[in-house]
Structure 1
Amino acid sequence: MTILGIMLVMTALGLLLGFVGAGGSGFIIAILTVVFGYPIHTALGTALAAMFFSSLSGSISHYREGNMILKAGAAVGLAGAAGAWISSGWSSLIPADRLGWMTSGMLFLSGLALWFKMASAARGKEAVTIPVAGGWRFWLYALLIGVVTGALSGLFGIGSTPFIQLGLMLVLRMPLRYAAGTTMMVIIPIALAGGAGYYSVGYLDVHLLAVVVAGTMCGSFLGAKFTKRVPALLLKTCMVITPMLGAAILLL
């Protein structure tokens, strides 16, 4: 009955995530811990690994639409994978109650970062070119963005999507469209390395992962069909509220 319940809840959650275009690892963590009683470390490992599948399918779509800069995505993603692998081991050293509070705080910051990104784009402050396209500065900035955001993902089990996008836009000067697509590529190695890190320390439930992935992917497929059918203001509001709602659930 628990497996069926998780499947149904994850399908409903997938509807929301597909609608707002989010990976939703933070929300998955909140549901698994608060609603179904899984340990926070297991929830983190499962949610992070689940992002690999959703990011892979999203990356293929963005690549076909021409929304991806492969060089930047590869550089940031590989550095992020290293950060996620290392920090996933640190997570086991943090007591469960403290880790829950810390993950909740990161989700709130994630929502604020997303709001800031949207506000900057609305004011017309996003870049239209990519001046940092090569040379030592590009590699330095790309590695820094990757290591920092990857470490956040591995430690707290979140996708760090807003932080990655902000780094690509503000540091590498990418337009929003390319930052969104490239971020999906960046998350693939981060989720893979972070999930493997949690598995190596015994915090990845493979059977639970299969149920979570099946439910969220089914729901996301349906939820994505509503994205273009609602007012832009409602969509943006839901995108900002979603990680904050996950953070609020974790505090229960």
Structure 2
Amino acid sequence: MLLEPIQYGLGALSGGLVGFTLGLFGGGGSILAVPLMVYMVGVPNPHLAIGTSAFAVAVNAFANLLGHARFGNVKWRCAGLYSLAGIMGAFVGSSIGKMIDGQHLLILFALLMLVVGALMFIRRGEEGDPNAQCSRENAPKVIAFGGLTGAFSGFFGIGGGFLIVPSLIAATGMPILSAVGSSLLAVTAFGLTTSLNYAYSGLVDWGLAFVFIGGGVVGGLLGAFAARKLAARKGALNTVFALLILVVAGYMLLKA
């Protein structure tokens, strides 16, 4: 696909927004990437937007993962177990997603965002247990959530962090900042699995993806800093995260 120069500029700007929200919310980049590709950059094919954004989000998530790891926000055992369980789900989900009409995928994606955003808003005041870890008792729940989230991630062509963060909290009781940091490993794994599946069908624009990534690296540094500031206030990060989901979902439904 050939894009105008201004579209690549918009791609870099969109990548900055995605990187910022990935650093701030863990899964925010996954929520914004596809809508930005379709409505701001102007990618005409939703499946191409999905495949391209999945790769860009995966790379940006990995960059932000390194930042969160330096500050001790990643619970590696939980993140690894969750990610391994979800990779197969992401492959199956993305294979099915390629067979669904692109506009229908966007509408289903927006409806799912409304449900998750409402749930996050209801639970916005919960702080979690900083000492929470994956154990023999909660491992089955972590694996089940990982597999299911991976399938949703692959089906909608997103990193899935907006599902991963609340499910990690539900499975282990960890605080949201730890869930945000840990979710980035799963976002990376799910996004790469999905993008490779889409790339096999020729549904990834690599030039646009790398422009997106460049903007995302800068935005991610700012997002990780903002996350540490907001986490100091009870419920602030949860509230902003939930409101972002609801606003973007409403816009997507309106456009679709």
TM range (shorter): 0.7 to 0.9
Q: Which amino acid aligns with 1:190?
A: F
Q: How does 1:6-155 map to 2 (within 5 A)?
A: 6-12=11-17, 14-15=19-20, 18=23, 22-35=27-40, 36-121=42-127, 126-127=128-129, 129-130=131-132, 133-134=135-136, 137-155=137-155
Contact kept, 8 Å, 2:11 with 2:212, in 1: the verdict is yes
Compared CA separation, residues 245 and 38, structure 1 to 2 (3 A): farther
Q: Alpha-carbon deviation of 1:21?
A: 5.4
Compared CA separation, residues 214 and 113, structure 1 to 2 (3 A): farther
The one of the two structures with greater contact order (alpha-carbon pairs below 8 A, sep at least 6) is 1
Q: Alpha-carbon deviation of 1:9?
A: 4.1
The separation in 1 between residues aligned to 2:199 and 2:132, in whole angstroms, is: 37
After superposition, what is the alpha-carbon deviation per residue over 1:9-40, rounded to whole angstroms, capped at 9, x for unaligned?
43355456555554412212112112314311
The separation in 2 between residues aligned to 1:44 and 1:190, in whole angstroms, is: 13
SS, match of residue 119 in structure 1:
coil
Q: Which amino acid aligns with 1:238?
A: V
Q: Alpha-carbon deviation of 1:204?
A: 1.6
My pick for the range that moved more, 204-213 or 147-156, is 204-213
The separation in 2 between residues aligned to 1:17 and 1:76, in whole angstroms, is: 18
The separation in 2 between residues aligned to 1:147 and 1:186, in whole angstroms, is: 11
Q: Which runs of 5+ in 2 are unaligned?
A: none
CA-atom RMSD, angstroms? 2.8
The separation in 2 between residues aligned to 1:184 and 1:115, in whole angstroms, is: 21
The separation in 2 between residues aligned to 1:133 and 1:48, in whole angstroms, is: 31
Q: How many residue pairs are counted as aligned between the two chains?
A: 246
The separation in 2 between residues aligned to 1:108 and 1:164, in whole angstroms, is: 15
My pick for the range that moved more, 47-56 or 112-121, is 112-121
Match of 2:185 in 1: 185
Contact kept, 8 Å, 2:18 with 2:30, in 1: the verdict is no
Match of 1:194 in 2: 194
The separation in 2 between residues aligned to 1:149 and 1:7, in whole angstroms, is: 28
The separation in 2 between residues aligned to 1:234 and 1:75, in whole angstroms, is: 28
Match of 1:205 in 2: 205
After superposition, what is the alpha-carbon deviation per residue over 1:29-73, rounded to whole angstroms, capped at 9, x for unaligned?
112112314311111122222222222122223333333222221
Match of 2:220 in 1: 220
Q: Alpha-carbon deviation of 1:178?
A: 3.1
After superposition, what is the alpha-carbon deviation per residue over 1:222-246, rounded to whole angstroms, capped at 9, x for unaligned?
4555556679476554322222232
SS, match of residue 125 in structure 2:
helix
Which of 236, 240, 251 aligns to 1:249? It is 251
The separation in 2 between residues aligned to 1:155 and 1:90, in whole angstroms, is: 6
My pick for the range that moved more, 88-97 or 166-175, is 166-175
Percent identity of the aligned residues?
23
Contact kept, 8 Å, 2:64 with 2:221, in 1: the verdict is no
The separation in 2 between residues aligned to 1:147 and 1:47, in whole angstroms, is: 21
Contact kept, 8 Å, 1:69 with 1:182, in 2: the verdict is yes
